[in-house]
Amino acid sequence: MAEDDRDGARRDTPDPGESGEPGETEAQRLTRNLNELLQELRVTQTGVQILTGFLLTVPFSQRFKSLDEVQRFSYLAILSGSVVATGLIIAPVAFHRMLFRHGERPWLVLAANRAARAGLLSLALTTSGVVWLVFDVVTNRALASAAAAVSLVFFGVLWILVPRLAPRQERPGAGS
């Protein structure tokens, strides 16, 4: 399955921007890519699971009853987003277990990458929602909206803009 690169061009491999190690076969590159992705997800999985666990305890606190209808609805949306982020970030592990030794490494790397990216997006939205809810409870709705917007911009800059602005090495065989 093809995927757009940062210039909008179509590409058919899961990680074509990487030329690979010298003498590395396609199978070795796919294995390395999958291992790197799973290592990255280990860091994220812990954080998203802690966030979800924390959110699951909130309704049992005494202050929860004092939330207004908008805050309660927002809490449920944030909790749902956290569950979605958890599922997406853990999905590559499940994909790997279900397809282990079935010769589906190219699909696995591509699908795991997409699930991880969607999970990070969901995590950014969920975390910004948590910021909104906390600011709304502690201050007011206008400040809460501003704080959530700032957190979304922060994630966008740090997770999207900074990597896109990173210097790129010329790929062997890449035309102008």
SS (H, E, C) 66-113: HCCHHHHHHHHHHHHHHHHHHHHHHHHHHHHHHHCCCCCHHHHHHHHH
Q: For residue range 1-41, what is the model confidence (pLDDT) as tens digits?
A: 444 443 333 344 444 445 566 778 888 888 888 888 888 88
What is the mean pLDDT of the segment spanning 69-79?
A: 97
Per-chain mean pLDDT for the chain: 85
Is residue 126 a contact partner of residue 78, using CB atoms and an 8 Å limit?
yes
104, pLDDT greater than 80: yes
Q: Quote the pLDDT of residue 20.
A: 65
Between residues 7 and 57, the one the model is more confident about: 57
The enclosing H or E element of 126 equals: helix 105-138
Residue 22: per-residue pLDDT:
72
For residue 175, what pLDDT band results from cuts at 50, 70 and 90? very low
Range in 12-16, 51-55, 85-89 the model is least confident about:
12-16
Tell whether the model's pLDDT for residue 120 goes beyond 60: yes
**Is a pLDDT exceeding 50 seen at residue 171?**
yes
What is the C-alpha to C-alpha distance for residues 154 and 156, in angstroms, rounded to an integer?
5
* Confidence check: pLDDT of 107 > 80: yes
Predicted TM-score of the model (pTM): 0.77
Q: Round to whole Å and give the CA distance between 152 and 131.
A: 10
pLDDT tens figures, 131-146 = 999 999 999 999 999 9
Q: What is the pLDDT of residue 19?
A: 57
